[in-house]
Amino acid sequence: MSGDRGPATCVAAAVQFLRERADLALILVGNPQVINAELGRNGEGTHARLGVQAASQVVGMDEPPREAVRRKKDSSMRRALDLVKEGRAQACVSAGNTGALMATAHFVLRSLPGVDRPAIMSAIPAVGGHTHMLDLGANAACTAEQLCQFAVMGSVVAADLNPNGRPRVGLLNIGEEDIKGHAIVQDAHRLLSATKVNYVGFVEGDDIFTGEVDVVVTDGFTGNVALKTMEGLARMIGNSAREEFSRNPLRRLMAVAAWPAIDALRARLDPRRYNGASMVGLNGIVIKSHGGADEFAFRHAILTAAAEALRGVPSQIAAELAAAAH
């Protein structure tokens, strides 16, 4: 019911998802009257694999997280998380307020044993595929132990969603040399070197895109700044390319000739294909969609939730953290 585009986008994505995946079911949570109207617009009435759960409240995009937890107990966000806690759903997907979603999810589902703080993790386009990165904003400041937990959790998710043996994990720093960085990353470096995680050492910002590492670990402040910088750079490159190719008739003709390559590059770097950040470390699966996601992007967030649910990611994370603690 929340997000920048509201239920119209979410319902359309849900309908498209069910048409493609006959093995899965969805529950739409919110105002039944609004949801049913959107289902009608998308050619759907009653559906054997589509349920509707009523919720009378909506968490605003600018609502303080604490207020959402205390005063919005019948919000669509809260009810969706309750479904996961009760076992009626195996995952929750929301395009709503990120802070409120994390706070409510932590209150309802709690953290897994061995997890101090859940983290936000997402895929980033890179050479040869993508790189997983966490934390992307849940925890502005982190201890060395928490960074180590992030590495274990990130390794599990990367292995499940993109099997390639043992994912290579790097710790983001201002240099690759062992002497670089502040005390917290130095301590995390020593802790990670002693774990069974496939830890490759310190990595720099440009390593996020080289394809030489599968998981990049950092604190939420740095991760969020890096993510927003990437998004801004991608928009600037796209806008600059359009301006240059439309500058005169000759360049417009060149753009037509180069269109297949341009279209392929645009698809490869399309941020909508990477929509759906995992809130890892919770005792349940919660996927945060970008608030401005369109139908294509929100559908991808649902796909991410389904992939994690089918593989039982929280159970695997709990087992790996227990092994690491032992």
Question: Above 70 in pLDDT, residue 231?
Answer: yes
pTM: 0.89
The Cα–Cα gap between 115 and 130 comes to 26
User: Domains of the chain by range and CATH?
Assistant: 1-115+281-311 (3.40.718.10), 117-277 (3.40.718.10)
Residue 26's pLDDT is what?
96
Contacts (Cβ under 8 Å, ≥6 apart) of 98: 120, 137, 288, 291
pLDDT in tens, 259-300: 787 777 776 767 778 888 999 999 999 999 988 899 999 999
Question: Above 70 in pLDDT, residue 45?
Answer: no
Q: DSSP label at 277? A: E
Range in 73-77, 139-143, 245-249, 317-321 the model is least confident about = 245-249
Give the Å distances, CA to CA, from 101 to 36, 71, 210, 225.
24, 14, 32, 20
With bands split at pLDDT 50, 70 and 90, how would you rate the model's confidence at 240? confident
Question: Above 90 in pLDDT, residue 10?
Answer: yes
With bands split at pLDDT 50, 70 and 90, how would you rate the model's confidence at 46? low
Average pLDDT value for residue range 118-137: 91
User: Highest mean pLDDT: which of 42-56, 179-193, 258-272?
Assistant: 179-193
Buried b (16+ CB within 10 A) or exposed e, 100-114: bbbbbbbebbeebeb
The Cα–Cα gap between 12 and 308 comes to 22
Residue 201's pLDDT is what?
95
Residue 213's pLDDT is what?
94
